[in-house]
Amino acid sequence: MSNLDSKLPELMRQATEDLEPESVDLVERSVAQGTRLRQRRSVLAGTAAGVAVLATVGVVVGTVQHFDGRADGGPMVAAPPTISTPAASTTPTVQTPPPSKAGGPTLATLKSLVQGPGRTLSLPETWGGAQDGFFGAGLVVDDGKGGSRIQVLLERHQGPASCAGEPGCKKRPDGSTIRSSSLIPEYSDDRQQEFGIVYNYVEITRKDGRQISATSYNGVSEKGTKHTRAVPILTVAQLTKLADDQAWKFPAKVTK
Amino acid sequence: MKGITEFEEFARARVGPLYRTAWLLCGDRHHAEDLVQDTLANMLKVWGRIDTPEAYARTALVRTFVSQRRRRSWSERPTADLPEQVQASGDPDLRIALARALGELLPLDRAVLVLRYFEDRSVEQVALDLGKKPSAITTRTARALERLRAVLGDDAIHLIAL
């Protein structure tokens, strides 16, 4: 058994030979998830939960220029936020995300737009901030028929808005663009049967580049919990109205 | 500027290799597909700023795996239903044995072995990938191999003889 290390590469190669994803739409789902990622709560995107991960992992400084050599301080991909990158440092350091400074107003606006008679609001949360270049907020709205998580994310892109040939994107008369989807299953495997989460989604980019995306789920969270109602509380049309509201305050920083 | 079409081309070309690495890390197809999906989705978010997509994807995949396991956002699935029963090709016994053995390792140790022995990364490269010191990778590699030998037991002799 002493030569396990020399045999391991071949063992791994043989074990994975011919393995292919069973989900034929894996790439499509990845693209769909990626395009709405900033709108969705991600504990690895510089949130408080991300800090908890850092504290647990105790990640040591690494230097991977191609990977996280970011100069603009914008939102980071899942893995990179866990590593800070002073090139010559040998001292373990942890880069903590900047505190959220604008989640409050975003959440307050969200609350004001979704509240109504017979509705209760719970589980509020915010993420992002001015330094991140995006403001995120979410909460659960219950109209007596079950809780529905609603999330928004506000960013500012370089204008003017453009669909750039993206399928499913439409240009509106006011120069803004809109992308939307309804009753999208959260999972592509048998967990969809188990949890039954679906969501409605709208992303509007105003003519000047201000972008807001809004999602409503038919459960209190996007993953890991069973759905609480048949359909999300807000339809695509209602999400569109919410996203078009002029009360939203967008970050000043342009996201590249 | 790189667009979504270029990303889709990249994703289609790399989804297989990424999935195989993910399978070694996760030990079952559900989590492996989730891991690949999360990795690709996160890449799309910053696609325009990625200079070396293949290297980025590999590193992001492994880091995402380690972070997710740390957070326990995935519930570990019982292994009574052995993985990849649906796979018609390859060696199912080897897959099962290796998946079980790797599953006994700490996620970070699993990641180290996969990067070192499947991705053929050097100690220094793995250290950069995982944000660790090279000495830590060396130590983890030795410890993980020892653990793997102990878990495989007699199976190791059979597997190595393959």
Instruction: Say what the pLDDT of residue A148 is.
Output: 96
Cβ atoms of A138 and A152 closer than 8 Å: yes
Tell me the residue type at A208.
Answer: D
Helices (H), A40-177: 48-57, 65-68, 103-114
Q: How confident is the model over A191-243, as pLDDT tens digits?
A: 788 899 999 989 899 999 898 989 999 999 877 789 999 999 999 999 999 99
Q: Does A9 touch chain B (CB under 8 A)?
A: yes
- A90 assigned to some structural domain: no
Instruction: Indicate yes or no: CB of A21 within 8 angstroms of CB of B16.
Output: yes
Number of domains in chain A: 2
- Tell me, what's the pLDDT at B161? 57
Quick one: CA dihedral B31, B36, B37, B42, positive or negative? positive
Query: For position A176, what pLDDT does the model report?
Result: 95
Which one-letter amino acid corresponds to residue B112?
A: V
Please tell me the predicted confidence (pLDDT) of residue A43: 37
Q: Is A153 touching B (CB cutoff 8 A)?
A: no
Length of chain B: 162
Whether residue A189 is contained in a domain is answered as yes
DSSP sequence for B9-48: HHHHHHHHHHHHHHHHHHSSHHHHHHHHHHHHHHHHHTGG
Q: Are residues A115 and A202 in the same domain?
A: yes
Nearest Cβ partner for A20 among B19, B114, B128: B19
Cα(A107)–Cα(A54) distance, integer angstroms = 26
Is B91-162 the same fold as B1-73?
Answer: no
- Tell me whether residue A75 is in a domain: yes
Average pLDDT over residues B10-26: 95
Q: In terms of domains, do A155 and A53 share one?
A: no
Looking at CA atoms only, how far is residue B117 from chain A in angstroms? 5
- Test mutation, A19, A59, A256, chain B, max B CBs within 10 A: A19
A44-80 in b/e form (b: 16+ CB < 10 A) is bbbbebbbebbeebebbbbbbeebbebeeebbbbbbb
**A3 and chain B in contact, CB less than 8 A:** yes
Nearest to B43 among A11, A19, A77 (CB): A77
Is A155 contained in some domain? yes
Q: Give the DSSP H or E segment for A154.
A: strand A147-156
Binary contact (B40, A31; C-beta < 8 A): yes
Q: Phi-psi region for residue A209, left (φ > 0), alpha (ψ -120 to 50) or beta?
A: left
A41, pLDDT greater than 90: no
Distance CA A31, CA B40 (A): 7
Looking at residue A58, its pLDDT comes to 36
* The CATH number of domain B91-162 is 1.10.10.10: yes
A39 and A122 inside one domain: no
Task: Please tell me which residue, A161 or B160, carries the higher pLDDT value.
Answer: A161
For the segment A45-49, the average pLDDT, to the nearest whole number, is 41
d(CA B152, CA B154): 6
User: Are A131 and A196 members of one domain?
Assistant: yes
The verdict on A109 and A75 lying in the same domain is no
Whether A130 and A199 share a structural domain: yes
Backbone angles phi, psi at B160, to 5 degrees: -70, -25
Task: Report how far residue A243's alpha carbon sits from residue A173's, in angstroms, rounded to the nearest whole number.
Answer: 16
% of chain A surpassing 70 pLDDT: 68
Residue A6 lies in a domain: no
Does A17 reside within a domain?
no
pLDDT band at B128 (very low <50, low <70, confident <90, very high): confident
State the average pLDDT for chain B. Answer: 80
Q: Each residue of B94-114: pLDDT tens digit? A: 788 888 889 888 888 999 999
CATH of domain B1-73: 1.10.1740
Distance CA A212, CA A201 (A): 11
What residue ranges do the domains of chain B occupy?
1-73, 91-162
> Contacts of residue B64 in chain A, CB cutoff 8 Å?
44, 78-79
For residue A252, being part of any structural domain is answered with: no
Q: Which domain holds residue A75?
A: 28-82
Mean pLDDT of B52-72: 80
- Tell me whether residue A135 is in a domain: yes
